Every structure is written in C-alpha cells, then in structure tokens.
Structure 1
Amino acid sequence: MTSATSSARSGTSGDVWEKAARAGYAVSGVLHLVLGFLIVQIGLGSDAEADQTHALASVGHTPLGAVVLWAAAIAFLALGLWQLADAFRGGAEGKDRAKSGGKAVMYAALAFTATSVAMGSGGKNGDQQAQGFAGTLMEAPAGRALVGAVGLGIIGGAIYHVVKGARKKFLEDLKALPGHRELGAGVVWLGRVGYVAKGIALGVVGILFLSAAFTANAQKAKGIDGAVEWLLGAPGGPVVVVLVGLGFAAYGLYSFARARYARM
C-alpha cells in the first residue's frame, strides 16, 4: 500500500475520503429501505420490481433526484476504493483480502449503476443482469459447472449473512464512539434481522443459479427480484415476502448506524 493510501487509512489526510466512504454506507441504507418498501409492496400484491436498478430509479424520480444519484455514485465509488485499499493493506489475511476485494467490486458496480441511472440510462434490471451473466458463463468450456459454482458461492454468501446476523458477528465491524459506552440494542436488533433477511434472499438467488446450471437454461438465473417472486410462490409466500422486505428495511436502518460506527 502506498504512503498516500496509508495516510488516508490512518484518518489523517484521508478524512474527506473516510467521510465519503461512510456516506456510501448511508446511501446503501437508503437503497435497502427502498428495496424493502418495494419487496413489501410485492408481498401485498403489487407488481413492483425489487432490484437495485429500479430502487435507484425510484430515488431519481424524487425532487433533486439527479443530484442524489450523482452523490450516491460518488459515495459508492469512495467506499469501493476504501475496500480496495483494505484488500491491499499490509498484514491483511488472504480471507480478509478476498472479502474486501469482493466488496470493492460490489460497490463499484453500484456506483456504475447509479451513474447510469443518473445519466438517463435505466440499464438492465437484476434478473436481466443475472441471466446475461449466466448465459456468458454457459458459453465457456464447462460453462454449466461455472454457473453451478457461482450458485454455490452465492449460497455460501447467504449462509455467511445468516450466521453473521444470528451470531451478531456484524458487531465486529462496528465500534462505539468516544462517550458512548456501547451500541444501542436497537442497532443490534436491526443488524440481526437485516443480515438474516438478506441471507434468505441471497440463498434463493443461489438456488436459482444452481437450477440454471442443472437445466442448462440461463433464463432460470435470477436476481433479488426473481428470488422474491420465487418466495411469493412458496407456501405462505406473501407473508414471507413481507417479512423479508421488512428485514431489508431493517438492514437499511442498520446501515445508517454503520455509517457512523463502522471500523474504517
């Protein structure tokens, strides 16, 4: 890691960068609140779409929406670069490097999506992106195995989210500020509910990728919107979908706390 990056990561010359990165968590909170609202609407019978592109487009339709989207893109980019710096931080373990690198890619993708929506290009929704990705992999040698591996990886991420929420391991990402003896019980509750809900949705996405691999049909791969649709058709589906939507909203509120208390 360069000396410039080191100083930024230590909180000296990187104060502006750190504030922008923390803003990325806050923007993620807004995004998850909107997603949660859309998912709850679907559970109640609406034909809304529950994907990040649609959620960002909903934000863009509000007063000063374009300004908010550009600010979101900058914040996501700052957080992605922060995670990338973590991936190359000296002394970091291989597992931590991989996790930070994956987060860097995710936030960079969100920055790109926010920029596309701000520029008036709606882009592909989550299901279209998932199907396109699966279709590209299918064309490669051992393509079905690759799609299956992606599905297993997503399921692994889903289990990680559920365990992180159930065992409150997300508290390791947070720190109390000076003058605050401990984090509030509300933050802990929101984190637990939010991580478990995200894990459930991701688990369904992973199952759908596995289905695409087994049937050699890339159209069966879906994103969050497709996962919600799948849950809706399961026994007690509407209730489950509403609960998942509330869980996403809880994660959004937790993200606001993370913007303030995150270990950076």
Structure 2
Amino acid sequence: MTDDTSLQARAEAAPWLRWGARVGIVAEGAIYVLIGGLALAGAFDPSQRPKGSAGAMSQLAHMPMGRVLLGLLALGLCAYVFWQLVLAVIDPECREHRWEWKRIALRFHHLWSAALHCVLVGMAAWQILEAGRAQDDGHTQRQLAATALRLPGGRWLLAGIGVGIVGFALAQWVAACRPQQQTRMELAHTPLRRPILTLLALGYFARGALFGLIGAFLLHAAWQHDPSEVTGISGALQSLRRQPYGPWLLGIVAIGLIGFGLAEMARARYRDMRVGEKGDD
C-alpha cells in the first residue's frame, strides 16, 4: 500500500520523542551495567559487597567526576520516565486497538515503570546533593514490609506482592527463551543481531534469577511474619554468594546483568520508533 494512510501508519515518531526515548534507554542500561559490574567485582573479591540501585549510585558518586556522571545518569532517567509516561498516557505507537485489554495492561506497565524510575531519579538526586553513605539496599523494603505486616491482612498482602514478583521472574525466564519477541528492535540488517539477542537472553535469565530470589524472600517473610527476611537487590546478590559455588553463581548473574544493560544500550540504537503501529513494547 502506498496511500497516505499507510505512510502515516509507518511515520517516525517526533524527534523529541525519539531522542528522549533513546537517551532514557541508555540510562536504564547504564544502571544494569553499574549494578552488574559491582556484583562481578564482588564475585572475585569477598570484601566487596554487591550493591543495589542506591548502593551503586553511592559508589558512582564517590568516584572521580562521580557527581557529574550521576547527574547525567539522572537526566537520562528523567528522559526515560517522560518516555514511559508518554507511552502510558498517549500510546503513540498504537493508534488502533489502543483500548484492547492487552494495550491497557501494557499502558499500566509503562506507568508502573515510570513510577519506579522516578524513585531512581530521586536516589540519584539525593546522592548528588548529599553524597553520603547509602543505607543498606534492603532497609526501605524491610520498613515497608514491617508496616504492611501491621495492617489487617498484611501477611496476605505481602504474600501477594511476593507472588507477583515471582511471576515477573518466571516471565523473564520465558522471555530469555525468545528474546526477539520481547523487543521492537530492527535487527534484520545488522551483523550484531546474534550478539545483541544473546546478551538480551542472558539478561532476562539473570533478571529472572534476581527477582525470583527477591520474591522468594518476600514470601518467606510473609510466612514467618518476619520483615527482617525481606531483602532488595543487594541482599539477593549477597545470598547467591553464600551458596555452594556462590562466587560462580554471582559471577554468572552479574555477567547477565551487564549483558542486559549492554543490550538495552543497543536497543537505544535499533529500537523501532515508528508510531501508529500495533507493537508489543
């Protein structure tokens, strides 16, 4: 088809949206590379504790030019939040069928992603302003869990969240088996197609392992009615290191997280930014 409707359906997104999306995706990838890099260092050096998002940002802030790099990262994360909000509210990539339940669920996913990355922006801003020592990455989670357990039915609420996180982890493992279907990257004409998809599959596997552990700890906390069992990314990675062959397990997950971050950076280059089409992501 060559009519105006077909051309419009394949039109590129506005430049401001394309650049905002690409900058934001790079920033998100950088977070995974940073967390994975610190975890890989911890696999080789027992004195190095794996870090979550807050700890990784604190580590970055204390490096030479760290505040500048953290400021750039925060700006990139702001761009990612803005892009996710555009996808959630306007849904420019799907002009038809945007009120189907799958599209509505996907738009809620983008809204949730925007909220989570707003938290990361706040963490980065706090480190830039204070550059103080970050709290343990599971501290906030344990406080929230303790508050939830004091509520009527709080144990079931905590268990429900744990089930949801485990379900997300399982979805990551499913995605690892078919990474091409989980992204809108145009890779048909690039020789990097196989390496990018391999990194993406490793990344999904690592994220599945990481969030599976976090969800399992949350379920155990609900079962024991003990908020001290709740942990974040840092605690989950640390628990891997305590297992038999722990440094190897931690190293594999760390490499997967780095791979996911690099694949995200590649996605910033190759993602299909056309509007008016029905897409999955």
- Please report the TM-score for the alignment, with normalisation by the length of structure 2: 0.82
How far is 1:94 from its partner?
A: 2.2
Provide, for residues 87-119 of structure 1, a one-character-per-residue CA deviation record: whole Å limited to 9, x for no partner: 223515222122112211121111111111111
- Asked if structure 2 preserves the Cα contact closer than 8 Å seen for 1:154 and 1:202, the reply is yes
Q: Distance in 2 between matches of 1:226 and 1:242?
A: 15
Partner of 2:82: 81
- Given the superposition, is the C-alpha separation of residues 213 and 161 from structure 1 closer, same or farther in structure 2, using an over 3 Å criterion? same
Letter in 2 for 1:99: H
Q: Deviations over 1:228-249 (max 9, x none)?
A: 1222222322211111111111
Select 2:118's aligned residue among 76, 91, 108: 108
Check if 1:143 corresponds to 2:154. Answer: yes
Q: How does 1:31-180 map to 2 (within 5 A)?
A: 31-44=31-44, 45-89=46-90, 91=98, 93-120=103-130, 122=132, 123-169=134-180, 171-176=182-187, 180=189
Structure 1: distance between partners of 2:53 and 2:199 = 21
Residues 135-175 of structure 1 show CA distances to partners (whole Å, capped at 9, x for unaligned) of 22112221111111111111111111111122214553322
Provide the rounded CA distance (Å) in 1 between the counterparts of 2:20 and 2:63.
Answer: 22
Contact persistence 1:52–1:125 (CA under 8 A): no
Identity value in percent: 27
> What TM-score comes out, normalization by structure 1 length?
0.87
Cα distance between partner residues in 2 of 1:169 and 1:186: 12
Q: 1:137 to 1:170 in 2, by over 3 A?
A: farther
Secondary structure of residue in 2 paired with 1:160? helix
Structure 2 stretches lacking a partner, 5+ long:
1-10, 92-97, 274-281
For CA contacts below 8 A with separation 6 or more, give which structure has more relative contact order: 2
Residues 198 and 71 (structure 1 numbering): CA distance in 2 closer, same or farther, change over 3 Å? Answer: same
**Count of aligned residue pairs for this structure pair:** 252
Q: What amino acid is aligned across from residue 105 of structure 2 in structure 1?
A: K
The one-character-per-residue Cα deviations of 1:161-218 (angstroms, maximum 9, x if unpaired) are 11112221455332249xx357521111110101111110110000000011111111
Per the alignment, do residues 234 and 99 of structure 1 end up closer, same or farther by CA in structure 2, a change over 3 Å counting?
same
Larger Rg: 2
Structure 1 residue 58 displacement after superposition? 2.1
CA distance in 2, matches of 1:64, 1:16: 28
Point out 4+ residue stretches in structure 1 off by more than 6 angstroms.
none
Contact 1:33 / 1:249 at 8 angstroms: preserved in 2? yes
